[in-house]
Amino acid sequence: MAGSSTHSVTNQAPPLVGYDVFTADRALRAAVERHLDPALREEALAELSGLGRSCGSAQVQEWGVQANENPPKLRTHDRYGHRVDEVDFHPAWHRLLGKGVAAGLTAAWDRPGGHVRRAAAFLMWTQVEAGNGCPLSMTHAAVPALRADPALAAEWVPRLTSTVYDRELRPAHLKAGVLFGMGMTEKQGGSDVRANTTAARPLAEEGAYELTGHKWFCSAPMSDGFLVLARAPGGLTCFLVPRVLADGTRNVFLIQRLKDKLGNRSNASAEVEFAGTWARRVGEEGQGVRTIIEMVAATRLDCVLGSAGLMRQAVAQAVHHCAHREAFGGRLLDKPLMRNVLADLAIESEAATTLALRLAAAYDAGAGGDEQERALLRIAVPAAKYWVTKRCAPVAVEAAECLGGNGYVEESGMPRLVRESPLNSIWEGAGNVQALDVLRALGRRPQTLDAYLTEVGRARGADHRLDAAIKNLLTELSDLQAVEGRARRLVERLALVLQGSLLVRYAPPEVADAFCAARLGGDGGASFGTLPATLDLASVVERARPVS
């Protein structure tokens, strides 16, 4: 009959909006409370809760959708034929980036507890829109590299750590806040940056050079400045390339194309040409890798945080859906098999969050002069980058499956998480690069292994499966001859044992028990949802619920 309704819409989960992403994440909140000085907690918790409410708002989530549905566009020339090499973004991108800068996501380095506070904020912000995490991460990470040159640091760091977002392309000295990108890799070398051929010719001005070359991947090409590697007369060297020169003219920064990526659609990644491009040396000639490595390490931690954030959002969506969806006479959340899947996903997410925040706390302690924590970071950051980022994709795919066919539909948001999930494993050095970095740390700096063993040893005696895993790991570490072929296996065990030790010390017993059983004790299968039925899975799932 005309005008009649065929049916009423029932048994659909409501949108997961209008909630505090921080307060609802029990593992994240506990980690922040654990790692911050008591004098900082009240202020930090209020600040993070405010950001959490923004992250959970319908408006901010809609901006994330809009930014991804309207990817950036390259504009090489203006209407008159002048070369401009600009990237145009949807207004939603600028709104998000402005909020991210205002939230202090580039302002951690000189703030008490700054890395823990920023890590929690970055983990939440990734759940809204992961693409703008790239310029935020690069800007944050440029600070330690620039401090290799006190004059450059004095000029640039106050603007890098500003909470003001200024999108206009103009000289940096006229701006209250700036963004940074990075250009390391070239098409012939990739991760082997020592194969770079971009040339740097010294100019008459002290510390100034002219660059000629091609960068295969340049992150955040709309930024105000870039740290790049080029070959000077003294060897591979780090340089600062400003987008606009001090006199207001555009530097030679030829954007050849934007990459058409699997995910991360809102963010621009580019190929760029330098052809007589003005640059300022950062650090000494021939010390480029050493100078830029602190930036790389900071961005690798952000890869861990980003993957932890994506996993948390995937699990939150899956648990939320199953708490409202009914099938076969009851809620999906109460079905034993679905509960097993959700609990398995939840412990993976909590392990990632707990490890990521522990590393952020080590950054804060290391900045205060704690050499033990600095040593721990040298082995734990690449190990965590290797393992956590690799776990993100299977978590996202399994979480989407929890929504059934709805999870394969764009409107659910799950396909965007799935497309984004492999990114952090590939960027800033893929898996083999991380594994080799761990081997280098073990071989060159014995104190890194001492710091690691001290950390995991704090949980010894609390769980027999963890104790056995530590013992087996020590056996593996006793023979590092011809280790490269089994490096992935070794690094995986390093990461799992570290996660297990942290959960045994800090997580609720049911979470630690499930992790140790499945990840260390061998009582779990190759896919999610294979936890032992004797565990308290209901409590694990309830802890992961985003809204009670």
- Tens digit of each residue's pLDDT (9 = 90 or more) over 456-480: 999 999 999 999 999 999 999 988 8
Nearest to 516 by CA among 527, 313, 505: 505
Class of domain 290-544: mainly alpha
pLDDT value of position 362:
98
Do 315 and 392 meet the contact criterion of CB atoms below 8 Å apart?
Answer: no
Which stretches in the chain have pLDDT values below 50? none
Q: Say which amino acid occupies 283.
A: G
Backbone region of residue 268 per phi and psi (left: phi > 0; alpha: psi in -120 to 50; beta: other values): beta
Q: How many residues does the chain have?
A: 548
pLDDT value of position 209:
98
- Tens digit of each residue's pLDDT (9 = 90 or more) over 174-213: 999 999 999 988 988 788 888 899 999 999 999 999 999 9
Domain ranges for the chain: 40-286, 290-544
pLDDT value of position 3:
58
Instruction: Give the domain 40-286 fold.
Output: Butyryl-CoA Dehydrogenase, subunit A; domain 2 (2.40.110)
pLDDT value of position 64:
98
- Same topology, domains 40-286 and 290-544? Answer is no
Nearest to 546 by CA among 389, 306, 346, 307: 346
Core vs surface per residue 115-154: b (16+ CB within 10 A) or e: bbbbbbbbbbbbbbbbbbbbbbbbbbbbbbbbbbbeebbe
